[in-house]
Structure 1
Amino acid sequence: MVIHSPTQPRSPTSPTTARGGLVVGNYCHDVLIRDHHVTAHALGGAPSFISPVLHSLSLPFFLLSKVGSDFCYSSAITTTTLHPPIVVSTSQTTLFHAHFLSATTTLPPSGHPDRILKRVGSCDLITPFDLPSNSRFLFGLAVGVAGEILPETLQSMLDLCDVVFVDAQAIIRAFDPEDGTVSLVNLNETGFFHLLPRIAFLKCSAEEAIFIDIDEARKKCCVVVTRGRDGCEVFWKDGELKVPPFAADQVDPTGAGDSFLGGFAAGIVLGLGVWDAALLGNFFGSLAVAQVGPPKLDAKLFQEDNLHARWYNILVK
């Protein structure tokens, strides 16, 4: 889809006629480790951060996520999604160890400046046969974190959804066969590259952007680059824009990009212009980094100042 003007609403669709969304990606168990000491265990995976965002904005969606019989956060997600994950009795829940670095002189293979991420275990892949093929959706979010989304699965999502948002981590991550260390590969070397013209928005971090080739990708779809404390940038074929950040006291950076994408996608689907949608994404990203695990959200957040109240009036009332 082509963005004709980033200052205008992305879609004329009204929230009252929305058919809901399709969110695809597995839940995870996250273990946070600093200087070889475990500091926290948390629910992870993009759906755990995106679901609260969509629910806080009253945007309906269907969640497709797989976990193993060892999944230990069932009670934690009952209030954030109406769709529990598929439990695969023969598999384990995807498990990540995030090693945070007190000091480093070299960039870790993941491209992330302050952590080394390792996939210790992974649940089953999400295949096209898992998707609800008898339904159509207003929007789709491809948000895998452990390589669980296949190229053919994304292609099926593109067939089922009017607008599809893709997180780069779902399509450019690679995993060391020995210890599971996460690294990044060039997008044009993956099986997803040919699908770019059908993707509406591709979201990546500043570190991931190095592996995307923004100048080439922006010719095929809209690319959103998150830059943490510096906000984000949006690139499309005929232009670009910068969107300022929200200040936040960072406790744990895990999930910031997921929360950003949830807010950004919700804003686009509900009719905001790209700039406002990106600002909304920055807002949710700032909430995510201020605590460990998925953020607790409340619609009252949008009434704390005039800017939040404006969004509240547009999106919730």
Structure 2
Amino acid sequence: MVRDRNQPNSTHRVLVSGNYCHDVLIKDGVVLAETLGGAASFISNVFDGLSVPYNLVSKVGFDFAYSVPRDPIVVPNCKTTLFHAHFDSGVDGDGRQDRVLKRVSSCDPIKPSDLPESRFDFGMAVGVGGEVTVETMEMLLEICNTVFVDIQALIRAFDGVDGTVKHVALKESGFFHLLPRIGFLKASAEEALFMEVEEVRKLCCVVVTNGRRGCRVYWRDGEVEVGPFPTNQVDPTGAGDSFLGGFVAGLVNGLTVPDAALLGNLFGSLTVGHIGLPKFDFRLLQRAREEVQRRKMQC
């Protein structure tokens, strides 16, 4: 195994595993922007804004085009994972835009040997292009006390002709047997259709995001709905990733699960109001704490 290559003197709070990507946003057939993408980039953006100590394991190709705060592993004979996100101007009653996501190229998967030889309080499996394998997930579960998983890392499949992102049922993904060892499984309302929430909640905590409706947290014996933050949606890319980053950041900073979910909703709402990565500052956590307290008093 390789040694910890990011922040060797860190407190080993969080380990993030997922590849950086190149994203091309195409609206109504016109290229709107080319940006840094991948769940790892949005989560890192949240953590950097809130000064959360973390390590990142991410792979990119020789053509990687961006400067990032955590150096990725560069694979010389591969291209960086590239997605084309096609979406139109129509917005439905839930504030969502129809989007078709296509994987144009993919970098190498993350191997267990790519993970640092350290222990972590929290681990995150946030692959977007099929880069988190079952073996790597098993290693994350071995070296991290609590593991958060974005379901897109488990159930995404890619059309063999044009790379269109599809989904398989969670039970058919090859990861289902690991659920009892996972702390939290996050899914969008659309992705949640590919699992039986009532069954999975008995195995691990489930967090389902639902756009402008906020999110709902399920556990074996109960559930709670957490309200949203109003926003003007410009680009839906990365909203769920930023939610997960805010959610984990809240737990790292000692918030309860519902309050951490509220913090996640805040960062999700901030993200959809921008094209690409939004800019956060260190004062946001205090502002978010104040908002959490205000909403708790209202309830």
Q: TM-score, normalised by structure 2?
A: 0.90
- Identify the residue that residue 239 of structure 1 maps to in structure 2: 222
Match of 1:38 in 2: 31
The 5 Å alignment of 1:188-199 reads 188-199=171-182
Change (3 A) 1:49 1:306: closer
Gaps of 5+ in 2: 1-9, 295-299
Contact kept in structure 1, 2:263 and 2:288, CA below 8 Å: no
Cα deviation digits, residues 87-141 of structure 1 (max 9, x gap): 1110000000001034599xxxxxx861000000000111111111x21011001
Matches of 1:104 and 1:284 in 2, distance apart?
21
Return the alpha-carbon distance in structure 2 between the equivalents of residues 297 and 287 of structure 1.
9
State the match for 1:275 in structure 2. 258
Runs (4+) of structure 1 moved beyond 2 Å?
A: 101-105, 300-311
Answering whether residue 166 of structure 2 is matched by residue 183 of structure 1, we say yes
The structure-2 alpha-carbon separation of the partners of 1:170 and 1:228, relative to structure 1 and needing over 3 Å to count, comes to: same
- How far apart, CA to CA, are the structure 1 residues paired with 2:286 and 2:123? 28
1:55 partner letter:
D
Query: In the TM superposition, what is the alpha-carbon distance from 1:57 to its structure 2 partner?
Result: 2.2
> Which of these residues, 77, 83, 97, is aligned with residue 90 of structure 1?
77
| Aligned Cα root-mean-square deviation (Å) | 2.0
Deviation at 1:308, TM superposition (A): 4.3
Deviation at 1:310, TM superposition (A): 5.8
Aligned-partner SS, 2:268? helix
Q: Secondary structure at the match of 2:240?
A: helix
TM-score (norm 1): 0.85
Q: What one-letter code is carried by the residue in structure 1 that aligns with 2:15?
A: L
Letter in structure 2 aligned against 1:98: A
Match of 1:56 among 44, 49, 69: 49
Q: 2:188 aligns with which of 185, 189, 205?
A: 205
Write out per-residue CA displacement over residues 40-69 of structure 1, whole angstroms, 9 at most, x where no aligned residue.
111100111101211222221110001111
- Structure 1 residues 269, 18: closer, same or farther in 2, change over 3 A? farther
Matched residue SS, 1:299: coil
* Residues 263-311 of structure 1: CA deviation (Å, up to 9, x unaligned): 1011122221111000000011111111011111002234558724969
Q: Pick from 99, 110, 129 the counterpart of residue 126 of structure 1.
A: 110
- How do residues 72-83 of structure 1 correspond to structure 2 at under 5 angstroms? 72-74=65-67, 77=68, 81=69, 83=70
Structure 1 unpaired stretches of 5+ = 1-16, 106-111, 312-317
**1:159 and 1:179 mapped to 2: Cα distance?**
36
Q: Please tell me whether the aligned partners of residues 89 and 97 of structure 2 are also in contact (alpha carbons under 8 angstroms).
A: no
Question: What is the number of equivalent residue pairs in this alignment?
Answer: 282
Aligned partner of 2:54: which letter? F
Structure with the bigger RCO (C-alpha within 8 Å, sep 6+) is: 1
Distance 2:218 2:144 in 1: 22
Distance in 1 between residues matched to 2:201 and 2:189, nearest whole Å: 15
